[in-house]
Structure 1
């Protein structure tokens, strides 16, 4: 860890903290809290001493008060001396409006109670004002903030970027002394974080001095990277100092894995499903309030439906005490659910991801996860929502009905207890975000480009930005690509490349900037029509993004085949008698993290070593129960799963077994005559996305035909049409060729079209709103398709370059894919091929069936797995019979 970034080692006592506080604040604090929480013991005095601090600790450990207490104390000092101006001193930024409203309410109490103490002591103190300002704030309230400026401003990253160019209000920010960034882990992972980091550097320019930065985060890793993201860099390129308060493990946890049945192969699908809902219902019944996470929105609706059916049947839980909460519900419905939760009126709440972040939802005594949360960090963040107080234990139960999920979660929990967390991925140098901020800077004043470049490079997200990319973005924004004007892309700024100076162009620049700022794309539903223009229904844009012609999916209970898209319309043809190849929740699935995937690969290696060396089954099961917290049914299912894979591969004469160091490949011909070429690359879906697209590109060139793809966290399959059987290997791709193959493979896809629109909109190339007129997403998409055709000849065009970067680095994981290829070429990863099989090996079931896992076909999926299994067992029995007679 660099010198500037250090971990807090000194703890302070309550007495030491009370001494430095304003006497009124000290009296209030002493009367409210018996002792300091871990974050408070380490962080309060350093904040008082003017240090930047990153606090990472679970929910319910007093993080928020840690962040505000010193600022409140100093504001009361100023108020007593009559030194409070009509300006902002504390800036609090969070990603959620709901969290902002919580913080507003949470501050009301101390502010009121401290003033009451003052009145009792006969002191009249001016009011310390705090206000929430977001996109929802009416203009009358915004006007009022100029007259009565909040001393504590609570806002979002987007609103901060807007007020930085608001001519009058911007002046009120010159006095900012403390900036608190809440839920920083959630911001850092997306472009909203890059956006905020540039706003903070522009604020630093405005104040003319450093302010104290306080970051608050749940469980995250690595903390030194998040600290650098929070504080940025000095002009000389060194990181600004930051103190890390690591209290991630300050709460006890109890996490267990439950499989409702021990045989996940032969137990009929209906029985497994009903046992799962019985298990969930049983947990809900035994606890006061249960928070259940599913990985998809449709999954959460399904769980609520079944729990309510059981409640109706059994009559021991009121039906209306079970509710769902996810991002597709209206704001009103979500707020109503949150309110009921806080009041303790709900027994169970089912959510996809929307309750992961720190909004105050009252008391939860157990968190249940259906399926795998896909990363150790996410697992701990979710489980951390239970046992809200510091001395309480966070309790989590993972319910799995799939063998791959079971193995994944078992390893995940072992790693959670070992404190091994996945690394966060922070987007680097997003040029669309840069474009927005260059326009923002131009609106502030005429600027020297080299000075602006220095400001931008102080941000962690843009620290290694090249001058060439910076200047190309200036040129694009100033209309240097003349032929784009006929497509209504006009310069937003002017730039003089000789003097290296830029400024705003036109009187509408500020309006365009204010109405088009932000990084969250307009998501909209896509209309689905048959080729003869009959309306079928709607799908989400994210779902369309992953479709390729020939994919089949269910809509309104019927199967359709995707043909093409035009703007925001998808064209399909009926395929009623065929099976879907894409599940309905396909676009919502969380990807398995690379770090956890590697640990599962290592676990595979260990299991196969144990089995081949004859380690007793009971001993292996005891290990799983003790180290991985798996129930006995789950331990039985895991051991059987590995034994089957072992026996099958042994019967095929293989001496090697799939792990992080061995990539097994196999082929399987299905009933339709298609060959599934399966690659057991257990590296997580983002890495597999990159490896598979590059290999599919090579295969389609070799076969002179379109090649299908099934991508899974544990591997991928190339699907060759009937009559085609080719041999391609990951050895055929050199690490340095990967990027080129990927760019070629994605250029004509839906993914490229959509992402280009998002990037072009963020980069202000396509406007969402012009002079107050909303531009429909459909029109934006048509404009984007036209522009993409025009600019594809300019390799270095910032918006095209950023689209590729976003797809290859943020959506896929080209870095780890390249690493895998390097290890293959160095011989550190071995590729073992077991040839064409009439039945896939057990570890390949889910990869082959990736295309057949729609909800309506859950039964078919299980039936098919049972059939594969039956055939395999026959083969193994035959082999062992042969072995015993020879």
Structure 2
């Protein structure tokens, strides 16, 4: 094991049930023995290391006993402590989960074992101490909080945000000094965003409070790389050494059955209505054949459409009750979601359709198959979703992937192959988030007067801030203490005092604790944006993420009409009617999940392999067998995939091109549309986040060169720069220098909606703009107006923490500048070649979905299919001419 990994070990010793029973309190051991015939894979590997006091990360599918693995040792030891008279009125076990619903589940799941153990002890005449467990979240009432102070729980179940608040609660924080075990559930869903960074700092502050290490237990579904997640969980010691962590890798403890289906064999010429109808019929048949089906779509709008059509089929066929089909997504009210979850648990639903809201481990009862519409965009997400089926250990997780698009088919076929090969995508863990840091510095200042060097040492123990520079840290202190005095005239006041000479800081003002407690957290307020015409006529609402993506001139559909975006002011967007013009922005593109970079590269490699086979004359039947065997596709899908590649192959051959898009070759094609605009299409199959960075930097260069606005069409498989009529393409990817791309991107995004919105999010997290002041809610409209004023003030200070973090968040978390740099380095070093086509009168088959992003509203499926069929006809004419000439 390398030096940096020396304190990480993979658990390889499987302990027997007898060995585990010997370390438990006798009553707990008897209870466990009577309930469970054997240990599950994670229990065999994890229970003894937890008992020995190691930090442990457990990664295994749903239904493999992770939760009991985490709690069993602690419950046993709490009982032992109680019997010895050592159990005080304070917290010993802290359970942190990202979901309030999950917290309530855990409360119920703990209630039963604790009650059963007590009853068993009573039968034996043993009086066990009371083990109290309580949920504390933002929903907890003042009365309940007071009760917790009088009779603190031994097991506290909470969220990352509430933990940050109770760390500064003067009386309750004292009850946390005894914490010995911290369980972090769904650690994968926390690690990949700022809630996780926030939690790591809370845990280091808790470590300071307890004055000794506690056992950290992380529970995760399928995730990769486990070493990074283990570091994220365990953190570092004061001297910078990584803390120990035992990794329990039981990700493949359950069998899985995945298959890819296409409702029709010809995805080009089959009329769109028929394709859509056949897709719903395929889903309906899956629902009919199984007891309970969980259907995932990638968007909330997709969820609603699937539910609507399945209910229509149920009404028509009269073989399923309509109310046995339900939707579950984040836009529904909490009450509706809870009602659906309860019906599911009671077995009253045949099908539940969800976007992403059921990915996490809420106990939703028995699901025997998961159907996925379109691509889930990463191997990891695919396995997490499929893992919701076959809930028990011995059952098979069953997944059926339904695709009605050729790019989706290729993507999902490769994804399923990689899932069986255990190749998982790497998680992206945000680093050095200065807005999160600002929140915690205010929290530390409230706790006590602190030395700067002590605070820096505590913060650098967190994995998320281990590489934080001292200059950035001091800059945040300077900002929080009012060091940028010009901001006071905009009502941004110091939250702490800071003496740089003595090297100490502390809290400022009597309201500091109230401000901190009311504004803690990292999730931005979700709101809708009102849309008005420039004549002040109200049109409807759009989501803020949708607005983030709009540039002046973009056209979109709202209420069945097309509008052109003009500008925004706070939470109002102004538009003008675009009448008969085509939309340029699909209605759901802000919701779409981005394709992971790792899977994108595998698909690029697969492209190279397919073209090699076609070039070498490999029999089509053999290719088909490979696809069915390795990628688990049905006949329709295999036919469609092979047809797709052959069309692209012969199309390029007809142009005299013998190098094909792959991981080693970027194809760049130029196509003039019917309006005379040239689309410069880059086949960069690296996922949307990487393409976002490449396309914005390149479009900025092109705009500077041509003196005109250049449109961008963005897709996971590539991007297109769209030049106005009469303007020739002016840039090449080889002009983008890896070392210059960051600077170009900062200039490209500064005046965008994306920058304005993200600046507000960061300013709110960094306590520059308050969401709540002394109990008064500040509207998002007011927050956004303040943000627009403040960004103009701070733009001249490039090292200003809130501005610096906004750029970092957009470039690293929203886009993927690091992989964009890698791609540009590979181009510079000759590892990736660029091949250009002449000006075309029709786009290539691989370009259809990319150019459609910049042409027509994806919601209008009929338009999309008609256009693809039109392109396809032109391609086939060219290909057949080429083949005839060849045969002559």
TM-score by length of 1: 0.99
Contact 2:367 2:390 in 1 (8 A): yes
Is the partner of 1:736 in helix, strand or coil?
A: coil
Give every structure 1 segment of 4 or more consecutive aligned residues whose post-TM-superposition deviation is greater than 3 Å. Answer: 851-856
> Which residues of structure 1 form unaligned runs of 5+?
none
Q: 1:341 aligns with which of 341, 344, 351?
A: 344
Question: Structure 1 residue aligned with 2:319, among 316, 319, 328?
Answer: 316
CA distance in 2, matches of 1:41, 1:126: 28
Q: How does 1:544-559 map to 2 (within 5 A)?
A: 544-559=547-562
Shift of 1:880: 2.1
Number of equivalent positions: 885
Among residues 52, 56, 59, which one is paired with 2:59 in the alignment? 56
In 2, distance between residues paired with 1:883 and 1:125?
A: 88
Which residues in structure 2 correspond to 1:682-701 (within 5 Å)?
A: 682-701=685-704
Pick the aligned partner of 1:847 from 850, 866, 877.
850
Q: Which residue of 2 aligns with 1:712?
A: 715
- Identify unmatched segments of 5+ residues in structure 2: none
Partner Cα separation in structure 2 for residue 241 and residue 855 of structure 1: 50
| Deviations 1:29-61, CA, capped at 9 Å, x for gaps | 001000000000000011111111000000000
Match of 1:240 in 2: 243
Match of 1:101 among 101, 104, 114: 104
Please point out which of 208, 218, 221 is paired with 2:221. 218
1:307, CA displacement in angstroms?
A: 0.2
Aligned-residue offset at 1:3: 1.4
Task: State how far apart, in whole Å, the 2-side matches of 1:720 and 1:196 are.
Answer: 46
Deviation at 1:265, TM superposition (A): 0.5
Residue 879 of structure 1, CA deviation = 2.0
Does the alignment pair 1:531 with 2:534? yes
Instruction: Give the drift of 1:876.
Output: 1.4
Q: Does 1:360 align with 2:338?
A: no
What RMSD, in angstroms, separates the aligned Cα atoms of the two structures?
A: 0.7
Cα contact 1:367–1:396 (8 A) shared by 2: yes
- State the alpha-carbon separation in 2 of the partners of residues 141 and 392 from structure 1: 41
- Written as runs of structure 1 = structure 2, the 5 A alignment for 1:114-133 is 114-133=117-136
SS of the equivalent of 1:586 reads coil
**For residues 1-80 of structure 1, what are the structure 2 equivalents within 5 Å?**
1=1, 2-80=5-83
Partner of 2:398: 395
Q: Map of 1:439-478 to 2, 5 A cutoff?
A: 439-478=442-481
Does structure 1 conserve the Cα–Cα contact (< 8 Å) formed by 2:582 and 2:856? no
Tell me if the contact between 1:432 and 1:759 (Cα under 8 Å) persists in the aligned partners. Answer: yes
Q: CA deviation at 1:361?
A: 0.3
Alignment equivalent of 2:508, drawn from 505, 510, 518? 505
Q: Distance in 2 between matches of 1:243 and 1:855?
A: 47
Query: Deviations along 1:725-763, whole A, 9 cap, x unmatched?
Result: 123101011100000000000000000000000000000
Q: CA deviation at 1:78?
A: 1.3
Please list the CA deviations of residues 474-524 of structure 1 after superposition, one character each: whole Å capped at 9, or x if unmatched: 000000000000000000000001011000000000000000000000111
Query: What is the correspondence of 1:126-525 to structure 2 with a 5 Å cutoff?
Result: 126-525=129-528
Tell me which of 801, 804, 814 is aligned to 2:804.
801
1:82: how far off? 2.2
DSSP 3-state at the match of 2:178: coil
**Number of the residue aligned with 1:859:** 862
Aligned to 2:9, the other structure's residue is in SS state strand
- Contact 2:852/2:858, CA 8 A, preserved across alignment: no
Structure 2 residue matching 1:634: 3-state secondary structure = helix
**Cα offsets for 1:595-629 (capped at 9, x unmatched):** 00000000000000000100111110110000000
The aligned counterpart of 2:680 is: 677
CA contact 2:299–2:591 (8 Å) conserved in 1: yes
Cα displacement (A) at 1:855: 5.2
Match of 1:784 in 2: 787
Between the aligned partners of 1:854 and 1:879, the Cα distance in structure 2 is 33
Looking at structure 1, the residues matched to 137 and 463 of structure 2 have their Cα atoms a distance apart, in angstroms, of: 25
Show the counterpart of 1:644: 647
Give me the whole-angstrom Cα distance separating, in 2, the residues matched to 1:463 and 1:104.
34
Contact 2:678–2:729 under 8 Å retained in 1 = no
Deviations 1:659-687 (A, max 9, x none): 01100001111111111110000000000
Deviation string, structure 1 residues 238-264 (Cα, Å, up to 9, x no partner): 100000000000000000000011110
Q: Deviations over 1:66-111 (max 9, x none)?
A: 0000000001111222221110000000000000000000000011
Offset of residue 856 of structure 1: 4.2
SS at match of 1:693: helix
Per-residue deviation, residues 742-799 of structure 1 (Å, max 9, x unmatched): 0000000000000000000000000000000000000000100000000000010000
Distance in 2 between the 1:301 and 1:857 partners? 16
Q: Displacement of 1:881 after TM fit?
A: 2.1
- The answer as to whether partners of 2:712 and 2:854 remain within 8 angstroms in 1 is no
Q: Name the residue aligned to 1:87.
A: 90
Alpha-carbon distance between aligned partners in 1 of 2:859 and 2:360, rounded to the nearest angstrom: 32
CA contact (8 A) 1:289 1:364 kept: yes
- Name the stretch that deviates more: 725-734 or 471-480: 725-734
Once the two structures are TM-superposed, the CA of residue 558 in structure 1 deviates from its matched residue by 0.8
Q: Which moved more, 1:169-178 or 1:576-585?
A: 576-585
The alignment's TM-score, normalised by the length of structure 2, stands at 0.99
Correspondence list, 1:541-620, <5 A: 541-620=544-623
Which one of 622, 627, 631 corresponds to residue 624 of structure 1? 627
Which residue, 608, 633, 638 being the options, matches 2:636? Answer: 633
Contact 1:665 1:835 in 2 (8 A): no
Once the 2 structures are TM-superposed, how far is the Cα of residue 877 of structure 1 from its aligned partner? 1.5
Q: Please give the secondary structure, in 1, of the residue aligned with 2:370.
A: strand
Residue aligned with 1:554, SS: strand
8 Å CA contact 2:531–2:572 kept in 1: the answer is: yes
